[in-house]
Structure 1
Amino acid sequence: MPAPDLNRAPMGGTLVPGGATFRVWAPRASAVHVSGDFNDWRQDAGSLMSEIGGGHWASFVPGLKDGDAYLFYVEGVGSFGFKRDPRARLLSVQPSFPACHSVLRDAGRFPWHLERFVPPAFNDLVVYQLHVGTFAPHPENTDGKFFDVIERVPHLAALGVNAIELLPIQEFPTTFSMGYNGVDLYSPENQYAEANEAKLSRYVDRTNAILQAAGHAPYAGVDTLRHSDDQLRALIDVCHVHGIAVIFDVVYNHAGGGFDDKSLWFLDREVPGDNNNSLYFTDQGWAGGLVFAFWNDGVKQFLIDNATFLYEEYRIDGFRFDEVSVIDRFGGWTTCQDLTSTLRAQKPEAIQIAEYWPAYCLT
């Protein structure tokens, strides 16, 4: 099988026939490698990615499969070392965050029950907002799980709720969070997933009972729902089966606080010190983190791609955008326009809610 055209490779690590392509935006890097168990985490001529223009690096590694771990190794004028894929679909549980690995995933393997779900009309929405981490009805858990929300879906449907709004579910860098300090925007928070085998088995049994009570086939087994991404998909799937739309609360005005050395902060390894040189961010702070560099087309595309990714791979029904007023204040109004027009073209029936409250204008 011929190697794919790297100039057409999608961003991030992506499974393709015969292996996986990798592509990362690191415009000021002097070299970028992709490493994993497949090459003993080495950096050599075989792991070196190709420059394909526009600050992008790409490569193809044959033989890779769902579940394989990888990292980028970036060499720049300021430092060198491993970086997580900013677009990783999943992060490993072991090693755990922030020493975790990026994980290749085949999102097409998830067994959705409905091929298409149409959300209620905007003026008919009855929205229940919740925070997964505090949604823990079982005494065996101190932290809420995606499964805990699944178990309350029939109750929410009986109440007349026809949409749930999940506070941010992206991976965050602290031990507990309301979700508004996420950094790895494409990866679900592993703390919201169940990894313990015995507990996972019980959760899957209860989830299957809910599906069967609603007249739908159960999931095949524990392996179907072993990882955080598929546990989140199961939550969305069960909601759709019960006529409930799912809205994601997303934070595109800033990321962090808290940036470890493997994060997208200074991803191309520029000399640290001035956050205006950190590639994705500016030196402007917000809510303990850093405001995105909306002026940079690469950053704008990263955020737009994140939203379309969530539509495509999680089948969500809309977004609530956190503090759009902050995006506007720091020069991101065009980003907002391009984002919403892209989403409207992709999924016209989806829900878009913008939080805009410029408190700095109030008297």
Structure 2
Amino acid sequence: MSVQFQFVDRTTPMGANLVAGGATFRTWAPRARNVYLLTGDALSLSATAGWTPDPGDCLTALGDDTWAGFVAGAASGLQYMFWIDGEASQGPKRDPYARELTLAPAFPASYCILRDPAAYPWHDGAWRAPDFSKLIIYQLHVGTWWAVDPTGADVRASRGGRFLDVATRLDYLRDLGVNAIQLLPIQEFETEFSEGYNGVDYFSPEQQYQASSDADLAWYLGTVNAMLAASGAGPLALDDLRPGINQLKCLIDLAHLRGIAVIFDLVYNHAGGGFDPQSLYFFDRFTNGNQNNSLYFTDEGWAGGLVFAYWNANVRQFLIDNASAFLKEYRIDGVRYDEVRVISDNRPAGAELCQDMTGTVRFIRPSAVQIAEYWDWDRAFPVTPVPAGLGFDAALGDAFRDSVRSLLTQAAGGENAQLQLDPVAAAFGLPAGYDATWRLVQCLENHDLTYFGHDGAARVPMLADPADRQSWYARSRSRAAAALLFAAPGILALFMGQEFLEDQLWCDDEKDHPGHLIAWDGLATNSVMADHRRFMRDLIALRRGQPALSAEGVRVSRVNDYDRVIVVHRWVADGGPGQDVVAVVSFDEQPKFGYRVGLPQGGRWAELLNTDVYDGFPNPTPIGNGGAVDASGPPLDGFPQSAAMTIPPNGALFLRAEST
């Protein structure tokens, strides 16, 4: 295919894009002497020693360090590469903006694929994302979370999970009650297994997460179409799922139809790899003495890769374009930005990138939540509006998670161990510089805290009882910790398996480190895990059904290390009486009878949830209050009334006034 120069100028989109009559191709290569577009036979010949491109395939320089061309008749599915005749090297390079890469040849020898981003037939026109303050996020890793064959056999150890595996498991998440999933990074990475934080092809979904055979696709299609029919939506055809990018879009489409938002984990602090000569690392290299000669990166290392060259406006635009593409083409509902401190510390350009990024994303989709991972001393900086701050909506928190995890470690010492509840109580307050409590993302587990090989990694039941992770002590303390989480203000986040008391660390590499896949079979064979999942499902429903639990009103009305009790009051500002919720949480190994707790108003208070009910569900003799307590006692804890109540050991009660 010969390259023409009509229909291209400095407004032509970067990468490969279908237009009337063909496609445009544009790339940034400021150091190149010439840039060629390779298609057809030239792709395989380019690996031949001494081979050079046809002059008719040369793109034109637009005078702004970019090169572009038009190819008449180009259609979706065309395979292509750029050939860079550069200052430091010559050879084929993958398009940094490539939407998809070939499965054959396989990565890293893949070619780029021209795709129509509007080809997927979406069904989610009525979808509206949840309010930020009401988000309950479920974090999962596509490759290890779920994968079965047509017979229902678990195949994660042999091939790993795919986008369509996650899609077919969405009804499980809907039943659990979460309203958002956060996928660990899904861009193409270089290694066989990965958490995803070493991505190299930023616009291309990971190949291992795609199905390719017609037999596999036909099986998935049947399940997908049944799910669509259950939502009153029309079916897909097999061709709709053949492009790998459409399989990810199908996952998002089905999630929306089930009331579940999808958040991507995007890594803009560094890129992984460096050993693939066709990758971004080696794109248009230049000669620069002994220093790093990469176009897109600095010499600064981070997490096994290199930090992006934020000082360069083209690099910043590349990253902004990447987030924009996921919003527009994949309809994602938010971004979790990895290690923002690494970006913003490269000031002023790194901070400028964050500010421009958050502003652009908010302009494209105001309903898309933007969450920063930021661990520097000035914790409010990422959520402070521009220009004083970076403009993110929320940031990950560690005070609550660390204090509760520490509390579990203390409680594991037994009934005579000294507990420190004050750090937990302090973590319920509004952090310095924050204007709203919902801007903090709260969790007890995440991919880092539970990853095999990380120093100190532990799942909640491992902390609760290291000697027996499914003992009564482990079960009851884990429920009490979960009650604290769901009583806390902020956006809540769970990690895969947390909902059914998974007690094994996870790992993305099942081949070299077997035995670290979350144990789905436990839900069918282990009553402890099944009971905990029921508890978590009801706890999630409680959080979503009680406006006070996601509102701004929060006060720890009692914290008593000796009694091992913490009491949390949640309310809706100007919500009127009757909406307040009080959570009473005890880490005492003995029940408390006639224990008096202050309450905001007199009268009968319903026992909305009692954690002891879920021990051997249904517990025939739960320790509690028979469904309600009476607030007719004297003032206490800063409230006008109080009630004597029974608190289960290592347990929690959620109470709400029955009437005004």
For normalisation by structure 1, the TM-score amounts to 0.95
Please, which of 311, 315, 338 is the counterpart of residue 356 of structure 2?
A: 338
1:256 match: 272
Greater Rg over alpha carbons, structure: 2
2:375 match: 357
1:33 match: 36
What is the deviation of 1:273? 7.2
1:321 paired with 2:337, answer yes
Q: Do the aligned partners of residues 234 and 301 (structure 1) sit closer, same or farther apart at CA in structure 2, a change above 3 Å counting?
A: same
Distance 1:77 1:83 in 2: 14
What fraction of aligned residue pairs are identical, expressed as a percent? Answer: 52
1:14 match: 17
Distance 2:291 2:114 in 1: 30
1:193 match: 210
Please, which of 42, 46, 63 is the counterpart of residue 56 of structure 2?
A: 46
Secondary structure class of the residue paired with 1:93: coil
Per-residue deviation, residues 82-137 of structure 1 (Å, max 9, x unmatched) = 00000000000000101100000001111000225321001111111101011234
Secondary structure class of the residue paired with 2:321: helix
Distance 1:186 1:84 in 2: 11
What is the deviation of 1:197? 2.0
1:124 match: 134
- Any conservation in 2 of the 1:6–1:60 contact (CA below 8 Å)? no
Alignment size in residue pairs: 361
Q: Do the aligned partners of residues 356 and 153 (structure 1) sit closer, same or farther apart at CA in structure 2, a change above 3 Å counting?
A: same
Distance 1:30 1:269 in 2: 12
Matched residue type, 1:122: F
Please, which of 105, 109, 119 is the counterpart of residue 99 of structure 1?
A: 109
What is the deviation of 1:198? 1.2
Secondary structure class of the residue paired with 1:233: helix
1:237 paired with 2:253, answer yes
Matched residue type, 2:299: D
2:382 match: none
2:582 match: none
2:389 match: none
Distance 1:360 1:87 in 2: 34
What is the deviation of 1:275? 5.5
Q: Do the aligned partners of residues 60 and 214 (structure 1) sit closer, same or farther apart at CA in structure 2, a change above 3 Å counting?
A: same
2:182 match: 165
Secondary structure class of the residue paired with 1:300: helix
Secondary structure class of the residue paired with 1:243: coil
- Any conservation in 2 of the 1:75–1:269 contact (CA below 8 Å)? no
Secondary structure class of the residue paired with 2:199: coil
- Any conservation in 2 of the 1:274–1:283 contact (CA below 8 Å)? no
What is the deviation of 1:305? 0.5
Distance 1:119 1:317 in 2: 7
Which deviates more from structure 2 when the two are superposed, residues 271-280 or residues 144-153?
271-280
1:135 paired with 2:145, answer yes
2:419 match: none
- Any conservation in 1 of the 2:8–2:69 contact (CA below 8 Å)? no
Q: Do the aligned partners of residues 24 and 204 (structure 1) sit closer, same or farther apart at CA in structure 2, a change above 3 Å counting?
A: same
Q: Whose RCO is larger (CA < 8 A, sep 6+)? A: 1
Distance 1:317 1:265 in 2: 29
1:177 paired with 2:187, answer no
- Any conservation in 2 of the 1:146–1:232 contact (CA below 8 Å)? yes
1:298 paired with 2:301, answer no
Q: Do the aligned partners of residues 136 and 355 (structure 1) sit closer, same or farther apart at CA in structure 2, a change above 3 Å counting?
A: same
1:287 match: 303
Distance 1:275 1:205 in 2: 54
Distance 2:375 2:58 in 1: 47
For normalisation by structure 2, the TM-score amounts to 0.53
- Any conservation in 1 of the 2:147–2:162 contact (CA below 8 Å)? no
- Any conservation in 2 of the 1:71–1:102 contact (CA below 8 Å)? yes
Matched residue type, 2:322: N
Please, which of 20, 24, 39 is the counterpart of residue 27 of structure 2?
A: 24
- Any conservation in 2 of the 1:157–1:243 contact (CA below 8 Å)? yes
Q: Do the aligned partners of residues 273 and 208 (structure 1) sit closer, same or farther apart at CA in structure 2, a change above 3 Å counting?
A: farther
Q: Do the aligned partners of residues 274 and 101 (structure 1) sit closer, same or farther apart at CA in structure 2, a change above 3 Å counting?
A: farther
What is the deviation of 1:304? 0.4
- Any conservation in 2 of the 1:34–1:49 contact (CA below 8 Å)? yes
Distance 2:331 2:10 in 1: 28
Matched residue type, 1:250: L
Per-residue deviation, residues 301-356 of structure 1 (Å, max 9, x unmatched) = 00001000111110111100001011112331111011101111111111110110
1:206 match: 223
- Any conservation in 1 of the 2:30–2:66 contact (CA below 8 Å)? yes
Distance 2:307 2:121 in 1: 37
What is the deviation of 1:196? 2.2
Q: Do the aligned partners of residues 359 and 6 (structure 1) sit closer, same or farther apart at CA in structure 2, a change above 3 Å counting?
A: same
What is the deviation of 1:286? 0.4
What is the deviation of 1:8? 2.3
Distance 1:202 1:231 in 2: 13
Q: Which runs of 4+ in 1 moved over 4 A?
A: 38-42, 272-275
Q: Do the aligned partners of residues 272 and 117 (structure 1) sit closer, same or farther apart at CA in structure 2, a change above 3 Å counting?
A: farther
- Any conservation in 2 of the 1:120–1:162 contact (CA below 8 Å)? yes
- Any conservation in 2 of the 1:23–1:58 contact (CA below 8 Å)? yes
